Amino acid sequence: MAAPKQTPQRRPFGGRFLTDPARLFQHNAWDNVEWSEEQEASARSKVQENSSQLLPQDKQEEYEVNAKRYWDDFYKIHENGFFKDRHWLFTEFPELAPNRNPKHNRDSAPGYGNTGESDQEGLGSCENGHCSLETRAENQLKLLKGTPEICTEEGAAQEDTELSQSGGGYPGSSASYRILEVGCGAGNSVFPILQTNNDPGLFVYCCDFSTTAVDLVQNNAEYDSSRCFAFVHDLCNDQSPFPMPDESLDVVILIFVLSAILPEKMQGVVSRLSRLLKPGGVILLRDYGRYDLAQLRFKKGQCLSDNFYVRGDGTRVYFFTQDELDDLFTTAGLEKIQNLVDRRLQVNRGKQMTMYRVWIQCKYCRPAAPQL
């Protein structure tokens, strides 16, 4: 694959600029990498090849019907060892930090800068389309893009949870700042938020499709039911109620979650989540971009539909474009604050391997109520 195009003035490393591709393997990572036409054509060709054979319809339906079981099995096997805590959240999404002071500008695509070296050794590889890189690399996303500019099955999982209720009649009703993480997994965003943000008015909700994942959160020593409420929730079931009312949330977090949903159900999910936001509330998303390493590594026979695949463990994943996400959010009545592509080159120096990751990061807000 051709060496990436570079914009030296935007990519300092250790006080020097990386301008010589021959020095590639002396460093761990480049961010804001521009792809050559040859590289993009190669990626497009790989996707055409691995999507040329679709799974039969009956198999696709089986993966949809059994989606919960596959994610339960995933968390039973990996527990909290697969994903790493996402402490980069507070540089990328300052709305989650204690001293939140977002600037409500309409669009933002700030430059990517290194804030320190990151150790990429031993990152592993993508197996069955599950890239451990996606999360280990997240943990190293100290690529501060400047200060971003900003605008059932429930019963069993909840019986053992002590509800923090007040006069409002729902968990967290007395809080002044409410955050919901959707697809919380083992709590890799929730617990850094609770540890870092000591705002006494903060309350964090977190939900997951997997009962096993929610159990892992509730059984974590850091779980505090006076500040947090974890519950099982099927996003695709519009009859499945949320524990909080509409227009009650300041922030909704979607980190590598929307991509796991059947594409034709995504709009309903985003529209439903948007109704939970207060006027001025924001959805924060980070997810897979088109031609990410994980997409290119799929083999024939794993494709369900365009850019939608099933991994060897039965879980599924979609790879987005910026325009697709923009359509989903704006159709739900939200306004764009940020929609950018994070193209990152990671290098395993020991194995002399280059790994191109493509993520999309978005912020969309619910318009503030007009003043009369």
Confidence of residue 303 (pLDDT cuts 50, 70, 90): very high
**Roughly how many angstroms between the first and final C-alpha of the chain, as a whole number?**
58
Question: In angstroms, rounded to a whole number, what is the distance separating the alpha carbons of residues 203 and 194?
Answer: 9
150-176, pLDDT tens digit by residue?
343 343 334 333 333 334 689 999 999
Helix/strand/coil for 287: strand
Q: Which two tokens stand for residue 99?
A: 């001293």
**What was the pLDDT predicted at 53?**
87
Q: How many CB atoms lie within 10 A of CB 14?
A: 10
Q: Which two tokens stand for residue 336?
A: 């764009």
**What was the pLDDT predicted at 100?**
61
Task: Answer for the pair 180, 244: CB distance below 8 angstroms, yes or no.
Answer: yes
Is beta strand 277-288 parallel, antiparallel or unpaired with respect to 353-365? antiparallel
Return the higher-pLDDT residue of 81 and 229: 229
Does this model's pTM top 0.85?
no
Confidence of residue 319 (pLDDT cuts 50, 70, 90): very high
Among 116-120, 311-315, 352-356, name the one with the lowest average pLDDT: 116-120
- 197-236 b/e (C-beta count within 10 Å ≥ 16 → b): beeeebbbbbbbbbbbbbbbbbebeebeeebbbbbbbbbb
353-366, pLDDT tens digit by residue?
778 899 999 999 99
Domains in the chain, please, with CATH? 15-51 (no CATH), 53-95+171-336 (3.40.50.150)
Strand intervals (E) in 59-201 = 126-127, 130-131, 177-182
Average of per-residue pLDDT across 99-124: 38
Task: Answer for the pair 244, 178: CB distance below 8 angstroms, yes or no.
Answer: yes
